[in-house]
Structure 1
């Protein structure tokens, strides 16, 4: 898939990029991602129009080994690192934006224990998750009406309603943010959605990203064991470790890759159609020919826009990857630089996705309205995602940092 761009997340590193250096290697996982993306692309239009919960799609990801991509090979996973995971999500998103979002959310939530709890507990959780091939859903962003965690004689119980979360309709485990009623401290909590006190509802009727398995979740006196409380989600730098703080740019960069995948996917599909179809401006000649300057100019402008966003994203990816390797040695000033770079990439990728998915329809012309072609799904998916994750506040963060040196806020994916 893609727009014949330079490979996303290009890094000067060896092929074996897993945390324990024993996994199959980056080239293997990029090949698996391309094969899985090609498979998803064959029936993407039909699946989008059917709008069914993506159990089959999750099975495809599981069979390809992508659900355990970030788990160390020694614990039963793929042994890949974050640059590889970003490239995989982008490749999947180019074929199917909703499944790209589902996979990206899964990658972040399944790795969240490493951000917020001690390594031994995170390793135990990862081994269980890899052995049972869990698909993760939920979200760690603070809610207007937060979930509550109350301590009683029998332990802690979780109550409340999360109005929207990705992947919950197909998840084997949920990761959510809950606030302790006695202290007000926000905590990351893992929940088994099969518990009788958990009710998942498919009440999200969006016009795009319909296969991201989003919905609401209600928790009614759900017991939470001590090992299922991963750690604090405080936004205060005095209480947040540098490694935990990196959860924000790491998670947000997944959305960047998702948007770029959508932009590259629609342009690749529009290019393929234009080569065999007809130009909307010169019906007598084939679209994309040297005799059609408006088509060429449109493709040229969108290619520049998408590649510019990709180049900025690569800078952000390099910064995130370097920060993760340093972990607790990172200073908060250095963390702020990383977060601002990701914010810039968010803004650039959002524009690239919105412009490309909208203007590709103009390039194809009136034929793009045919339901059987499914060109509208790219615009609907990109627009839905960018509405849920607007970048206006990210631009303010960049401006405030540039003008006043203010550190960007700690923001987690929803």
Structure 2
């Protein structure tokens, strides 16, 4: 009986958090079309998330704080079905809030999470390596030693909340040492400029823009840790950082799918579709196909979510702890906090499953949001297609498929990991 009490308490907290997420989603859905048309920075949206306690809740789990990975992703999906721009803000906040565990040592990670919780920080970030993806050209952000800290200069695109976030996570090259360091930038610091990106095709309320840094002082306490270079093996926990963000965004994609199908179905039932919903066999066939595609994507994403949740439960500080080096042995049914060991090859298994989830979800989101426009005619229905296009535009399917094939055929973990930088 004593063992059942913590489980029941966790289930109660899980249900309460999802109820809160549904309440916020209903509030966001009421004016989603108007806010999408305006495309303003998400000041009001961030305030709604903060007032509801979602920013504080969606942080890594610890004693009397945070949310486990499965529940956090369920909240992201709920919000995304109502407004995927806000869902992406929350997804990137949650994934970046884990960065202390991915990159920092144990005490620093604990301190950072407690400070974030006290301040109810909204996180965003752009970790993408020191140079463009084709490997040419100079680094966009560079560090120079100054005393015990650094000066950082350059500019970088940020996908969400660039003008409203409390902490912006970036990685930057230090030419003197060749190290790529992961650090956080406070938007109000001297030398920091924030430039919003207006008139986006989709995800208009996500608050995308550019971070511009002019000799900004970075004291040592703002350095989380070191990010391995592309050819350098990463600690197993550190290698989960990329897949964690990508999987959180998969849940945004699922939210877009659910929101588009629900809105189209309600329009068809209300007589606003292009065809009567009565007994039209073609209409029933179409909805059957779309519902099947949505459920297939959901199943694939849920499997990846379970496996990543087990990996994140392997230890409280993933990036710096010691891990067994005996090959893949994740218990795919394990719950976070069970103490499962994370082997050096396990991140490859996680990354391959996340790449599969991303591929299936991207295809489903683009297909479903296109086809619902043929089923119903109503203002604002096109926002789902626009949002899906923007969310998936920068991650080519061919790269993911080659990485999945490399992992499947050659049991390689290097290529899969590289696909997520």
User: Smaller-chain TM-score range?
Assistant: 0.7 to 0.9
Q: Aligned runs of 1:286-365 on 2, under 5 Å?
A: 287-289=276-278, 291-327=279-315, 328=323, 329-364=341-376
Given that 1:247 and 1:412 are in contact with CA atoms closer than 8 Å, whether structure 2 keeps it comes out as: no
The residue number in structure 1 matching 2:55 is 67
Task: Provide the secondary structure at the position in 2 that maps to 1:332.
Answer: coil
Residue 357 and residue 176 in structure 1: after superposition, are their counterparts in 2 closer, same or farther (change >3 A)?
same
Partner of 2:30: 42
Give the number of equivalent residue pairs: 384
Match of 1:9 in 2: none
What SS is found at the alignment partner of 2:193? Answer: strand
Contact 1:141/1:412 (CA < 8 Å) preserved in 2? no
**8 Å Cα contact 2:60-2:98 kept in structure 1:** no
SS at match of 2:99: helix
Q: Give the Cα–Cα distance (whole angstroms) in 2 for the partners of residues 259 and 157 of structure 1.
A: 37
TM-superposed CA distance for 1:74, in Å, is 6.8
Q: Are 2:189 and 1:195 aligned?
A: yes
- Of 27, 34, 41, 2:15 maps to 27
The equivalent of 1:272 in structure 2 is 266
Contact persistence 2:196–2:209 (CA under 8 A): yes
Whether 2:417 is the aligned partner of 1:410: answer: yes
Give 5+ residue unaligned stretches, structure 2.
1-5, 133-138, 316-322, 324-340
Distance 2:56 2:256 in 1: 23
**In structure 1, what is the equivalent of residue 119 of structure 2?**
132
Equivalent residue number for residue 227 of structure 1? 221
Shift of 1:196: 2.2
Quote how far apart the aligned CAs of 1:125 are.
1.4
Change (3 A) 1:404 1:224: same
Task: Rate the CA distance shift 1:130–1:350 in 2: closer, same or farther, 3 A.
Answer: same
TM-superposed deviation, 1:309: 0.8
Q: Within 1, Cα distance between the matches of 2:106 and 2:24?
A: 32
Shift of 1:391: 2.6
Distance 2:114 2:104 in 1: 15
Q: Deviations over 1:217-262 (max 9, x none)?
A: 1111111111111011114586521111111221110111111110
Flag structure 1 segments of 5+ consecutive residues without an equivalent.
1-12, 19-23, 282-286
Moved more, 270-279 or 49-58: 270-279
> TM-score normalised to the size of structure 2?
0.86
1:392 corresponds to which of 387, 392, 398: 398
- RMSD between superposed Cα atoms in Å: 2.1
1:81 deviates by 0.6
CA contact (8 A) 2:60 2:97 kept: no
Query: Is the contact between residue 166 and residue 213 of structure 1 (CA under 8 Å) also seen in structure 2?
Result: yes
Corresponding residue SS for 1:410: helix
Q: Structure 1 residues 198 and 80, CA, compared in 2 at 3 Å: closer, same or farther?
A: same
Structure 1 SS opposite 2:393: helix
CA distance in 2: counterparts of 1:192 and 1:263, whole angstroms: 34
User: Which digits, 9 at most, give the CA deviation of each residue in 1:158-216, with x for residues without a partner?
Assistant: 11110343221211111111111212211110111111200000135321001111100
Alignment of 1:67-216 (within 5 A): 67-71=55-59, 77=65, 79-142=66-129, 143-144=131-132, 145-153=139-147, 155-216=149-210
